[in-house]
Structure 1
Amino acid sequence: ITEHRGTLCTEQPLNMMRMRNLIQSLLLIIVLVSTVGAQEVIYAKVGEQVTLVPKSNQRQYVYWHLGNQNGPQLAWLNHLGGKGINEKWKSRLSLQDASLVINDIQQEFFGTFVCKMTSSGKPDSITEYKIIQIIGKLDVKPDTLLLHGDILSLTCNLERTPQVQNKPSIYWLNPQGVRERNNQGKVNVPATSDHNGQWSCVVKDNNNEKKVHVPVGVVGEFLCICTFAFVLQWYTSLTIPCSINSGVTWEQILTKELEEVWWDFVPKLSSGAVSVNRERLFDFNVEKRSLTPGQKKGLRLVSSNKKENLSLTKSKGSVEDRGHYNCSMKFKNGRTLSNTVDLDVLQITSQPGKELIYGQQVNLSCSTGDPLPNDVMLNWTKPETSSRYVQYPTHITIPEVRKGDSGKWRCELWQRGKRLTSAEILLKTETWFYMMCSFYTVYCLMIVSVAYRTPTKRVDAGDHLQCGSHPSPPPRACFHPLPTQKSTVQPFLFLSFQSH
């Protein structure tokens, strides 16, 4: 029994020693966590401005170091307003409150920065900032222009992988803001006009998200089927667009060895069918930027400060301008890019006419002569006083026209919230009595006009007796001129019938 008790007495101090060591280890971990703090990962690209913000500025002294807390001191400040920046880095570094601002970050600044904050009676607070470079680029020269069909190749990666629990995801957003799927930081596709613009490489982890923008210039071959309409009654001006994608300059186009530019035209017949004849409108001199007209149809190059704008304009359009307009660019490598515009005319008509009689049925139709695309809608605007009508997709029926139906009726074409064009017609409504009075007035004026223009024969007394003594003569017209008088008004001739 004595030996057993001795064993127990020996083990008890040993367990207490182990417990003491465990407590010391826990305290050491707590101290390390409280002093070192969390690490921050910041993604950036060369040339950007990066701001490192301390977790707290409620300390008496703040020190910024490069690499680690024992590395070169970059800047310092205290609670009394004193501060300083290392002479070597003054052109690149500045202090904003307690934050360290790195202007135009270059290769030597990608790495680790340490912020050490001290205060009397408190443990030091240390935070590490790891700045990691994002390399996002177009795999050709940045100012290189791509033509439709050229291979667009983009890559995005990190200079080094951060030591974090979850690896950051890297992907590209196209100019429309849509994520390119399953690219893992790489894009390799044939270029189209939709690829022209600003691409964004996105690096995303649990705590933050960083975007790096890469501009891409593409001259795309695209087909623009649009309804650029005008109202025949007004003969308004029209513009047929042909311009290079936004962000692409004329100088960039010339670097692709542009050889020839021209406009041609395929008219649309009155039946709605497209003619088989293609007319050359213009040839464009690339060096002089001047047009050599062919069948120019009154068109001219639009006045613009942008050299890459090759649109045509005309002061007054007509129904003969309907058809397909094609703007083409040919390069020395044999590639040809085209832009096609389908020009239609919106017309509004009234049956039986524009001057209507009270109670008539009227049909108003509005059409380009061809079925409208699915995304184009037709809207009608009526006079405020009109109330009785039946509306169909392309026409309106007024069962019995009333006085309130007089005025302007308008139809408009809308596409995705944008008004393309409109046409108007002015209706006049009158009663039967007014129309009959107008008819008789016109009829009488016509008779008087005929009578005035018919040669007159002088009637003397003998002729008058001869006319009166004729046995049972048929009715005969005799003209009697008015007495001659000085007047600025031409005298009328009265027509009378005599019978015996």
Structure 2
Amino acid sequence: MKDRVSLSRTDFSLVIKNLKAEDFTVFRCVLAEYPKKEETEYRLHPITVSVSPAIVLASQPLSLDCNVEKSTVSTEIKWSAPQNPGFSSQDSTLRVTDVSGRDHGVWTCTVTYGGRTAVATTSVTVVDLSPNPPQPIYHTLGSSTSSLLLPCSLANKLDSSYLSGVGFKGGHWSFTPFPWDVTPEDSRGPQKFLLSPDPQPQWKTPQGLRVNGTALETERHNLSMVQKIEEGGGFYTCALDFKDGVQLSRTVRVEVLRIVSSQGNPALVGQELNLTCTLGHSSLNNLTLKWTAPRLSSISPLPSAPHQPLLSIPTVRENDKGMWHCQLLEEGKVLATATLSLRTERVPVDVWLVVSICGAAVALVLLLPLISICVRRHRQKMFIRRRRKPKYCRCKHPQVKGFYKS
């Protein structure tokens, strides 16, 4: 003990380093100045803190104890949470019924006695997932941007090896479309990736093949995955399953911005075209849109933003081909940009031929009743003209036919 004990340079205080169990005993301080002699006795009391369990799963209960030996001096005990300074409890035994990631860290037990304080600490490891993103992730589809990194990680950058200590059974990523895109036969989509528990957690396909190049290989807390985004967007859920049916999950909402052409692509020259910038639903909340047309477009330049989702071109021209852009903004910040490479083409000759034939057929159908009516009326008139009136003999002395003399 001698190597751990020293006297303070400023006074006669005794300094003990690296306290051990045998240090909690009685110490006497004797000050002798002839002819006086003063003796003071100090008793060192241990503060014992314990936590159960030391590694706890989020949503599960936690118990912390702070015990002090009884003495003639009255004591007060106060617990403080690691990430919530406003939280405190004056009970020696503290029970937290619903643990979250904010409870991870060092808990402090403060003992107040005789105007002095003593502090004891204990560490709590909470296995939890990081909170959901505060707002949806906005994305655009394209040949090179159809995939997106979807965030999911263990809170406080906790190593995935801690999962085995809380009964980890496996995990998965799954997809659910938005309600307005759900058809009667649709339901929660199949699990896109599976997280195996042994020997070290790793991502696999539903067929059991290992997925290489994931963030989990280099960052043992990172469960994020690069996934191909569905055309309509939806909810992507990262879930971890534990014993007794406990599940931790976080859901990422992905909104897909796209430009929809009323004619498709290419557009026919000379006809009307409507371009719609949409997220798949009518509500934009506090978001705004900004259109950018090709420099030589027939409707360029556009009025200043914000713009409406619907952009109408009354008559498509050759100059309207090119790159059309639609930006989604929040307070001036660009969240996503949708692009449409519009092509134009003239109406083919065979199309005009079909239109002419159809027009002639319609005209013929309309003329047939008129022709029939005219023919019927003409026949009626001819029949009336051909009707002969009866002839009567006007001779003075009529005779039988054939006996008239010349």
TM, length-normalised to structure 2: 0.55
- Structure 1 residues 125 and 238: alpha-carbon distance in aligned structure 2, compared to 1, 3 A threshold: farther
> Per-residue CA shift, 1:308-362, capped at 9, x if unaligned?
4322124xx655272222223333x4324232323323648899xxxxxxxxxxx
Q: Which amino acid aligns with 1:310?
A: L
Structure 1 position 281, deviation (Å): 0.5
Q: Deviations over 1:15-64 (max 9, x none)?
A: xxxxxxxxxxxxxxxxxxxxxxxxxxxxxxxxxxxxxxxxxxxxxxxxxx
Structure-2 change in CA distance of 1:349 and 1:183 (3 Å)? farther
Match of 2:52 in 1: 139
Calculate the aligned-residue CA RMSD, in Å.
5.2
1:38 is aligned to: none
Q: Do structure 1's residue 155 and structure 2's residue 68 form an aligned pair?
A: no
Q: How does 1:237-256 map to 2 (within 5 A)?
A: 238-246=148-156, 248-256=158-166
Selected match of 2:132 from 181, 206, 224: 224
Q: Which runs of 5+ in 1 are unaligned?
A: 1-88, 352-362, 383-387, 396-407, 427-441, 444-500
CA shift in 2, pair 1:259/1:168, >3 Å:
closer
Partner residue of 2:172 out of 245, 262, 282: 262
Query: Are residues 1:201 and 2:109 paired?
Result: yes
Asked if 1:101 is matched to 2:15, the reply is yes
Q: Indicate the structure whose relative CO is greater, using CA pairs within 8 Å and at least 6 residues apart.
A: 2
1:285 paired with 2:196, answer yes
Distance 1:128 1:109 in 2: 14
Q: Secondary structure at the match of 2:231?
A: helix
1:168 corresponds to 2:81: no
Equivalences for 1:58-457 in 2 at 5 Å?
89-98=1-10, 99-113=13-27, 131-140=44-53, 142=54, 145-161=55-71, 163=73, 167-181=75-89, 183-204=91-112, 207-220=115-128, 224=132, 226-232=135-141, 235=145, 238-246=148-156, 248-268=158-178, 271=180, 275-287=186-198, 289-294=201-206, 301-314=214-227, 318=229, 320=231, 322-331=233-242, 333-345=243-255, 347=257, 369=281, 412-413=329-330, 422-424=335-337
Paired AA for residue 94 in structure 1: S
How far did residue 114 of structure 1 move?
5.0
How far does the alpha carbon of each residue in 1:260-297 deviate from its partner, in whole angstroms, 9 at most, with x for none? 3222221337x46695242221223322544332499x
Residues 100/412 of structure 1: CA separation in 2 closer, same or farther (3 Å cut)? farther
Partner of 1:476: none
Aligned length: 303
1:200 positional shift: 1.9
SS of aligned partner of 1:246: helix
CA distance in 2, matches of 1:182, 1:321: 53
Unmatched segments (≥5 aa) in structure 2: 262-274, 292-302, 310-324, 340-344, 347-406
The SS at the match of 2:156 is coil
Q: 1:339 to 1:213 in 2, by over 3 A?
A: same
In 2: Cα distance, 1:391 partner to 1:129 partner? 76
Q: Is the 8 A contact 2:77 2:90 kept in 1?
A: no
Residue type of the alignment partner of 1:293: T
* Most deviating of 153-162 and 199-208: 199-208
Give the structure-1-normalised TM-score. 0.46
By how many angstroms is 1:104 displaced? Answer: 0.9
Structure 1 residue 365: Cα displacement: 8.0
Kindly, what percent of the aligned residue pairs are identical? 18
Query: Contact 1:173/1:202 (CA < 8 Å) preserved in 2?
Result: no
Note the C-alpha offset of 1:304.
4.2
